[in-house]
Every structure is written in structure tokens, then in C-alpha cells.
A and B are shown apart, each in its own frame.
Chain A
């Protein structure tokens, strides 16, 4: 019996100890995200939640842990809660369509941050043009590769770390990479060998295993593009033991680029290991998302539809001096984000 009373007391204490602040006057926004494993998502999560809370909005947070079914369930819970609006970072572009429809059918305005649904007709969609931004970054890398090719006449062996292809961002980045490679091979036949694709599924462990295998099979790789900057430490751990992790100017330097524009990429461009990264303007995207959803709530629009683009840009070894302050990752890096 004592045990049973103990259990009930423990449950009661547990629930009281985590009691949330009671509903405040004003708005309640539900924020559902997938994971916070990369700097981009950590910074995005912080920007959205802090800004909302600073404005007196109650934020209900839900982490779906990369499970779109769980996110759907959480969004349904938000609807049951009667929140004023929903912001999501979906796992992929297809489940995002279902989730946006679910919210709109229940007359709850919804905004999608950074990872767009495949059907962009419904919901407030804040998105960077991943294909164009990737092309800008890879173009800089290709220019560098061209100079190398003209000197050595040795074809370049390119490799791309591909994201999970359920994610439209990953598809856009892959397409941007292949567009540039095809363009250069058209202009300079034979410059690039057939690109090596390494599947990552947006998972560092998967990326590590597959990259190890790819580099072992193709030790002549001298051009690497990662679809997300969060994989630079993974790339380093594969290249360093092989003597391929070298700064620009070193004969062993591998031309390298990525996309996101995080603090690690900024640091590595500073140090010369990375040549370029496509930058998504995280702060702009957060601002667009918040203004989009809050304006819709204020206007009483339950089913707002808009696509709000983030133009983005490429930060390279050549322009980092001038555009450093425009990149969110450099701002964080300069604030000491990587010091801990």
C-alpha cells in the first residue's frame, strides 16, 4: 500500500513540479519542430521562441523527433487546445502538405518555417531558394576548380553529400550542385568526372559511414559539397586521417563548400578549409514567419496563404570580408557561439 501511495504521490508531484504557467492573456502559438541537432535549427528555434515570448505570446513547443506522424498528432493536439496559430518545421515536404491541410481545415492559421511543403498553395511558407543559393556557392567552387584544371589538366573528382530526398530543400541543393557541374562540363568538356553521391539522410552517423566508404573507394576526390554545413565536422573526421584536410594554398586542399551559413562554416572559411557556403538568412526567415502568422491572426484570417522568399546569398573566401555581418553564422561565431 505504501508503494501505491508513493506512486500516486510521485505522479502528483511530478505533474505539479512541471506545471506550466497558466494561460496568459493574449495569443497562444504552437511551435512544432523536428529536431535541434544542427546549429541552423538551434538558432532558428531560439529566434522564433524568444521573439514570440518577448512579445508576450504564450508558446507551446513540441518536438516530433523526426517523426512526421508524431508531428501530425502534435498539431492535432494544438488544434484541440484551440491555439491562435501554428508554426512548424516539418520533417519533409509531403507530410507538411497533410499537416498544413489539417490545420487549415480546422480554421487554424499555420506557417511553415524553412522546409516548404511540396504544395505551396496553402499556408504561409517561408523558404529560401535552395537551388539558386547552392548554384552560387558551387559556382565559386567550380571557378577555383577550373583554375586547378587549367594548370594540371587533371579532371576534378566531385562529391556531394546529399540530404534526405523527402526534403525539398535537399532536392533543391542536389539539383543546384548538378546544374553547375553540368554547365562546366558543357563549357569545359572533361573538367569534372561523374559526381559521387553520398547519402546522408540528414544524419551524421550515416554520412560518416557512407563518406568513409566513398573516400576509400575514390581517394582522388578533390571537390566536396555538403548539402548542409552541419556535416563539416564529419567531413573533417574522414579527411584528416588521410591528409586531405588542408587549408587553401596547401597542395592537399580539397575544394569544399556547403549550405546553411552556420557558425562552423564561418570559422572554417576564416581558417581556409572551406571555400564557400550558401547562406540562408535565418533571422530574416524567422522574422517573415512571425510577421506572417501574427498578421494573419490579427486580421482574423484562418487560412492565410503566402510564399515568403528568402533570397539568400553565397559567402565565399573572396567576399567574407564584406558580407560577414550578413551571415547569421558569422554573427553567432563572432559572439562566441562556438567557444563553449
Chain B
């Protein structure tokens, strides 16, 4: 985790200074509690700590939350969201926003399925634009071939890169604002995915691909006595799956890019002050375009994980709800919508917050008519806390 844990964040230095100040002073219990609270609020781990405290408290009321199978479920829910959110974090750092990620997920899902799907029912698919060429009764372009899955994965990643390239080019070459450029990307590629499949899902994906999702268990555990010769499937806990490895690999790579390379420094410079960065010789256009391409790549990785777990190529995958979760996770995790600030570690904590909050609200069995409103309220509370935290950091810096 070293690459993730040692990220560039100005607050880290301040925190050390605060710690030193705290050690040098002592006082009454209430003073120490106040200092402890302040330290907690300023900590990089604040959102994670809040999430865990909330989860532990909630588990006292809803015992299902503490069940091991529930916990492994939540782990598996985190990985695809985290994969996509990593790319969005990069974009936010350069003061952009990538709404096209939702459409990229849909497009990549469909592209992959069109390459590797096996056996397609002509009654359902004969109206598709590529029926008879790419798609036939036998399936997708490489149906049944041993290279179908790797080529499909490459196709999905390339489609993500292409969407990112187009959005990045619109921003850098035509001076279109990131919001509008990525909104155009979202609308265009969403409908392109729908057009490609004429609104149909493509099923029959090969097992080698499906195993890239939650089915690809690498480390599974079982707690309990071995009374029966056969352990029931629901009692086996998948702790590490292929999606865990893929997402963590992506996170390490992103953490390295952000913290250990000149590219990462350029990103932060652009996000902090694009004019100053340009004057200083930062190749802003190239960096911005590459960041959007990376965002598209991350969305495509998310598409691989979502598609594998659902076992279908779906043109409506990655809708607005998911997009809000992605951007919300990044912002809760400390990325600033104004740029110059963000970290992979923080985004991971934001994802943890979102997933655990959803789990708690589901377990609380609130009315389905108000659950999203309550979710919004908790996000608002978290955002206000982050705002308070940022102000405190500034105060500490000025003193």
C-alpha cells in the first residue's frame, strides 16, 4: 500500500506540525478531548474513521451488518466503483469533471460483449446494425476462440481510451468546458451504445471473462465446523477475487503516477493554477488529454468488472445513479471540484463511505421512498465536515 499511502497532500505536513504541538502541551481531560477531536477531524483518515464508527454503531442495531458474508459482499461492491472513481479523481485534480465515464462503461460493456459473446438468438438480434458481419448466430466476432476474452478486454480498454481522447481533445483543442465536453460525451456514447445493440443486452459471455469479476475467487475462507461432506456455497466467503487484484493493481499504478512521476506533479500544477502551469512550461494540453484518457481507461476497467459480475453486455450500464456515486465518492474522499486536490487513498475512503452507507441504510429497512433522500442527507453532513476540516487546515496553516 506504500504507493497509495504516501500521496501528495499539503495537509500531511500541517498534521505533523499539529501533532508536535499537541505533544508539547497537556491540559485537562476536556482540553485533551478537544485536541483529540481536532486531530481526528484533520486526519487524512477522517472519512474512513467516520465510516467505521457509523458501521460499528449501526451493527449494534442491525446484526446482519456484522455477518462475515455481508462484509465480503460489501468488499466486492467496492472494487468496481473504486476502479472508476480512480479515473474521476485524476480528472478532478486537474479541475475537470468527466461525466462521460457513465457512457464509457456502457460502451465498453457492449463492445466487449460484441467481441466475445457466444450464441445469439437471431429473433432477438437480427435487427442489430452489425448483424451478419460482427454478430451472427454463433455469437460475437471471436465467439468460441481462445483469444476472445483477451481481445474483448483489450477492445473494452481501447474504447475507454478513445472516449477519453475525444473528450480530452474537445476540451484542449476547442476550449469547450469540461462539463459540456464530457456531457456531450455522455449523451453521444450512451446513445451510441444503445444504437449498437438496439437497446438489447448481450448475454452468453464466456466463463473466462465472467471469472474476471466476483466469480474469480482467488482466496476463499470458511468459518465453522465441517459437519457435512460438502460445504454450502453461501457459507464460503470470497475474500480475494480477480476484481480485488485488478482494482488494487490499478490503484497502485494510479498512486505511482500521481505521487512519483512528473506527470502527477503536472496534474496538480494544472489543477492549482492552469495559467501558471502553462507559463511554467507544463504541457497542459497533453496532460489534460492524457488524464481524460486515463479516466476512460478506468471507466473501462469498471465496465469489465460490472459486466463480468452481471454476465451481460448492457447498453444502459453506468447510468446517472452510478455517476453520482462515482463523483460523490471522490468528493467525499477529499478531491476538490476546484482542482489541485485529491488522492487515491482519499477516494478509496470515499468509496468505503458510500458502500457502507448504502449497506447501513438498506439494513435499516427505511422506506424505499425516502432512502435516497436520507443518503443525500448523510452525504451533505460528510461534505460539511470536510468543508469544516479544510477551513481548520487553513487556519492552522495561517497560524
Contacts and interface: CB of A to CB of B under 8 A. Distances in A.
Interface of A: 1, 3-5, 7-8, 10-12, 14-16, 18-20, 33, 36, 60-63, 65-70, 72-74, 76-77, 79-81, 92-95, 97-98, 105-108, 118, 164-166, 171, 199, 201
A201 B203 contact: no
Interface in B66-124: 67, 69-70, 73, 76-77, 80, 124
B385 A95 contact: no
Contacts of A76: 73, 76
A12 B369 CA distance: 22
Interface of B: 30, 33-34, 36-38, 40-41, 50, 53-54, 57-58, 61-62, 64, 67, 69-70, 73, 76-77, 80, 124, 194, 198-201, 203, 232-234, 306, 309-312, 314-317, 319, 321-322, 359-360, 362-366, 368-369, 371-372, 374, 378, 381, 385, 388
Given A77-B362, A79-B234, A8 B53 contact: yes
B114 to A, nearest CB: 15
A61 B352 CA distance: 23
Nearest to B365: A20
B201 A72 contact: no
A65 B203 CA distance: 22
B312 A11 contact: no
Most B CB contacts (10 A, CB to CB) among A164, A165, A199 go to: A165
A7 B50 contact: yes
A1 B61 contact: no
9 contacts: A7-B50, A18-B364, A36-B369, A70-B321, A80-B69, A81-B64, A95-B314, A165-B198, A166-B316
A76 B309 CA distance: 12
Contacts, number: 139
Nearest to A97: B203
B364 A95 contact: no
A79 B198 CA distance: 34
A11 B54 contact: yes
Given A15-B54, A67-B322, A199-B194, 18 more contacts: A1-B34, A3-B385, A4-B40, A5-B37, A11-B57, A12-B57, A18-B366, A60-B365, A74-B362, A79-B234, A94-B310, A94-B314, A95-B312, A95-B314, A97-B203, A106-B234, A166-B315, A201-B316
B199 A165 contact: yes
Contacts of B33: 1
